[in-house]
Structure 1
Amino acid sequence: MALLVLVLSAIPRPAHAEIAAWMVFEVGSGEVIDQHEAFRRWYPASLTKLMTAYVAFSAIKQGRITLKSPVMVSAHAAAQPPSKMGLKAGSTLSLDAALKVMLVKSANDISVAVAETIGGSQAGFADVMNKTARELGMRDTHFVNPHGLPASNHYSSVHDMALLSRALLRDFPQYKRLYGYTGVQYGKRLLRSANREYLRRVRGANGLKTGYVCNSGYNVAVSATRGGRTMVAIVFGAASGLERAAKASALIEKGFDGGGVFKSHPKLDNLKRPGSVKGLPPDGYCRRNAKPKLEKLMADYAGSAPMRAANSGLPGVRTAFARESGRTRAAGIATSRADTTIPRTRDKKVDWGVVMDRLIGAQRRSDNLVRITLAIDPNAKRAVPLSAPSADDASKNVADAFGIVMPPRGKPDSRPATQPADTNTNAVPVIVTVPTRASDGTPTPRPAPR
């Protein structure tokens, strides 16, 4: 046993890396209060869905689709890996319900369904995403899918995600509520948001989106509004969800503090681009970057941001409150010296409620849940796709979903027209038969007659 302990202790552990990139800026003025590696290319993960939402909102504005329009889950969409809603191929839901599930639950299957409904195909939708990114000035961004699952040519930057977040809040303020739900209720199921602790604990919090894949670590774009001013913070590459929320909360508070009364700030649109920027992280970022120890998080974040948040807007009130051992008691006068000790319950376990009070802020509101159904208005407008899916797209989507290997396409006949083509009567045509049902009994979706 002792030998085993020695062997395990000799195995090198991954070191904890600093958060890769971040920014906080004011939406109205565009002033960047703080930033680090804002132009570094990074995997956006599910922050990609913010662009999916922007394209969807634009399609609504153009009259191509409405919130009541049906969105069908194709076999290709249903085959996406988690996080997902898990509807069977052929299911439908309204665009309104789809957007709520996509932005709150971060469902990859619904993201693809939205993309196929609006774009005609996933590839066609990605083309629109990239065109929109260029129009918004997102120079360091390229999308290949609507959900952010890993792809080598799918990347963005903190600066570009800041531009996109501002555009969403500026161009489509009527949909801001979609970012603020802490969960979606669907029948007896409760689909929780990974951003719920931020939404519960930060004063004025109103979204936007979290994201995680191993190659990116924990990403987030958040916003908060106080006194008519809105701050947005972007974080890329945190090593845990708690570190992500703590950093985002601290950045929001720093944004409202202003970083100093007499300090001037650059504008988002003309932020100076460095001569060279770091590239994408190596594959397996999450395995190379250890989660920070709680002691480090407490030392880095405990008290400062939550205390400022508690005291701001409450003139003359200098008493913060924290829950300890299931009770609420005065925690004392807010000072520059934070309590970085690890709070514990009576049975010596970590009191995670108090930990989050100190790292993110005391809970200010209860859950904000939204209920959805799969009901479709029979009179709702059908979507007018941005482009028609090609036969190759349609067959590939079905073939991929059912594990069918498609035959390679032959090259065009380049021989002179006077030379007869091969008339070998022994050639056997390749026929691909699509099963009427998948192995789990799901019927193959058939296009509805027009």
Structure 2
Amino acid sequence: MRLLGLLCLSLVLSVADAGLGVQTADAATKKTQQAERQQVRKSKAKSPRKTAVQAPKRRVVAAVAPARPSFGQQLGLEESPSPLALKSNVALVLDQETNEVLLAKNEGAVLPIASITKLMTALVVLEAQQPLDEVLTISNEDIDTEKHTGSRLAVGTQLTRGEMLHLALMSSENRAANALGRHYPGGLAAAVEAMNAKARQLGMRDTRYVEPTGLSSSNQSSASDLARLVKVAYEVPLLRELSTTAEHRVRVGRRDMAFHTTNGLVRSRSWDIGLQKTGYIAEAGRCLVMQAELAGRKLIMVFLDSAGKYSRIGDAERVRKWLSSDRAGS
């Protein structure tokens, strides 16, 4: 009996030990699994998040229409030799008193002259001896239907003939120039005829006008002809004064409006300008005519068909520096 009891007790203890071993193993397994799960979570936390790959943005480039070539460019004047590396395709510099040509480039080429036209418009208006204090009115007929440019002179604006002349020469006001032509004795057609007659009188054989503003590319001339015009216009004191004013204020309705010169050289202390006029339309390029005193000489300067906005001014500066240097006397 005692032996049987001992055997039973031994069996019970073995079963208990086995159960305890199973529980211990299960616990160890659970701890291992928990540790593995924690390790996985830590690894995910440390690893960088994947971001969606974005397709590269497409760059949209607006189509730009090529610049329309000027008449001079169409004629290939850019290929001509360029003294002083001038940017203008046409240039002429001559002594006002002796007519000695100091510099020339395509001076005989006949090209559109843009608002240089207004110099002849002003000349024939003054020669008609109409009252400068007569009030003129801007009308619908003065609106630009050629190039559709704007103007600060609204329809109905009233200014004197003298003020219209001032704005046409100093600020290149197209409506003012057209109004001057309309109020010429006999009207616009008579004004254009007077302009062409004056050109013939001055020996400007390559010059033709069809309207008084210069907006039409049919207004054409050469540098040689324009030098003649500048020389004659310089002899009229009022043209000298009005064309070389830096700023002028006029009363338009209830407001005072300030207008400024289109030629920045007028404000420069390096220049002594006696008369000037600028011009621009796409067909003509940038244009400039001037009478100026440089290096002790009175000069007539003409620059036509310049492509860059400031290149005509740059060309004038190149000539000034050249004449002021030792090379001018060589």
Is the structural similarity TM-score above 0.5?
Answer: yes
TM range (shorter): 0.5 to 0.7
Q: Helix, strand or coil for the counterpart of 1:82?
A: coil
Are residues 1:194 and 2:284 paired?
no
| Distance change in 2, residues 1:2/1:246 (3 Å) | farther
Match of 2:245 in 1: 181
Given the alignment of the two structures, is residue 247 of structure 1 paired with residue 320 of structure 2, yes or no?
no
The match for 1:21 is 90
| Residue of structure 2 in register with 1:136 after alignment | 202
Bigger share in helix: 2
The alpha carbon displacement at 1:3 in A equals 7.3
Equivalent in the alignment of 1:330? none
Q: Pick from 149, 155, 159: which aligns with 1:82?
A: 149
Which residue does the alignment assign to 1:120? 186
CA contact (8 A) 1:233 1:251 kept: no
Q: Which residue of 1 aligns with 2:40?
A: none
Structure 2 counterpart SS, 1:100: helix
| Aligned equivalent of 1:205 | 273
1:294-320 per-residue CA deviation (whole Å, 9 max, x = no partner) reads xxxxxxxxxxxxxxxxxxxxxxxxxxx
Compared with structure 1, are the counterparts of its residues 226 and 125 closer, same or farther at alpha carbon in structure 2 (3 Å cutoff)? Answer: same
Contact 1:221 1:234 in 2 (8 A): yes
Structure 2 counterparts to residues 36-55 of structure 1, below 5 A: 36-55=105-124
Aligned to 1:39, what secondary structure does the other structure show? coil
Match of 2:293 in 1: 225
- Residue by residue over 1:81-110, the C-alpha shift from the partner in whole angstroms, topping out at 9 and shown as x without a partner, is 435342324x43211111111111111111
- 174, 180, 186: which one aligns with 1:108: 174
1:168 aligns with 2:233: yes
Structure 2 segments unaligned to the other structure (5+ residues): 1-55, 79-86
SS at 1:141 equivalent = coil
Q: Secondary structure of the equivalent of 1:233?
A: strand
The amino acid that maps onto 1:143 is Y
CA distance in 2, matches of 1:126, 1:92: 23
Aligned-residue RMSD, C-alpha:
3.0
Shift in Å, 1:142: 0.5
Aligned CA distance change for structure 1 residues 260 and 101 (closer, same or farther; 3 Å): closer
Distance in 1 between residues matched to 2:68 and 2:176, nearest whole Å? 35
Aligned residue pair count = 253
Q: What's the secondary structure of 2:234's corresponding residue?
A: helix
Gaps of 5+ in 1: 263-450
Structure 1 counterpart of 2:136, from 63, 71, 78: 71
Aligned AA (1:134):
R
> CA contact under 8 A between 2:248 and 2:259: conserved in structure 1?
yes
Partners of 2:320 and 2:93 in 1: how far apart?
A: 7
2:137 and 2:193 mapped to 1: Cα distance?
A: 21
CA distance in 1, matches of 2:120, 2:180: 12
Q: How does 1:365-376 map to 2 (within 5 A)?
A: none
Q: Which residue of 1 aligns with 2:127?
A: 58
CA deviation profile, 1:326-379 (whole Å, cap 9, x unmatched): xxxxxxxxxxxxxxxxxxxxxxxxxxxxxxxxxxxxxxxxxxxxxxxxxxxxxx
Quote the Cα distance in structure 2 between the aligned partners of 1:85 and 1:253. Answer: 37
Q: Matched residues in 2 for 1:105 and 1:117: separation?
A: 20
TM-score, normalization by structure 2: 0.68
TM superposition shift of 1:14: 9.3
Aligned amino acid, residue 154 of structure 1: N
Note if contact 1:231-1:255 (Cα within 8 Å) is conserved in structure 2: no
Superposed displacement of residue 254, structure 1: 3.7
Query: Any idea what SS the aligned residue of 1:241 has?
Result: coil
Residues 21-70 of structure 1, C-alpha deviation per residue, up to 9 Å, x if partnerless?
Answer: 0111121222211010001011100000011011112112xxxx122223
Offset at residue 181 of structure 1 (A): 1.2
Distance across 2 between alignment mates of 1:137 and 1:258: 35
In structure 2, which of residues 159, 170, 183 is the aligned counterpart of residue 93 of structure 1?
Answer: 159
Contact 1:150 1:215 in 2 (8 A): no
Q: Tell me the residue number matched to 1:290.
A: none
Distance 2:109 2:170 in 1: 27
Q: What is the alpha-carbon distance in structure 2 between the residues aligned to residue 83 and residue 232 of structure 1?
A: 31
Output the TM-score relative to the length of structure 1.
Answer: 0.51
Q: Percent identity?
A: 24
Give the Å deviation of 1:212: 0.6
Give yes or no for contact 2:274–2:290 (8 Å, CA) kept in 1.
Answer: yes
* Alpha-carbon spacing, 1:133–1:253, altered in 2? closer, same or farther (3 Å): farther
Structure number with larger C-alpha Rg: 2
- 1 CA distance for matches of 2:286 and 2:66? 23
CA distance in structure 2 between the aligned counterparts of 1:225 and 1:136, rounded to whole angstroms: 23
Q: Write out per-residue CA displacement over residues 189-229 of structure 1, whole angstroms, 9 at most, x where no aligned residue.
A: 32222202453243313340111111111111122225874
Letter in 1 for 2:284: S
Q: Which residue of 2 aligns with 1:149?
A: 215
CA distance in 1, matches of 2:307, 2:211: 24
2: CA distance between counterparts of 1:36 and 1:83?
A: 34
Match of 1:282 in 2: none
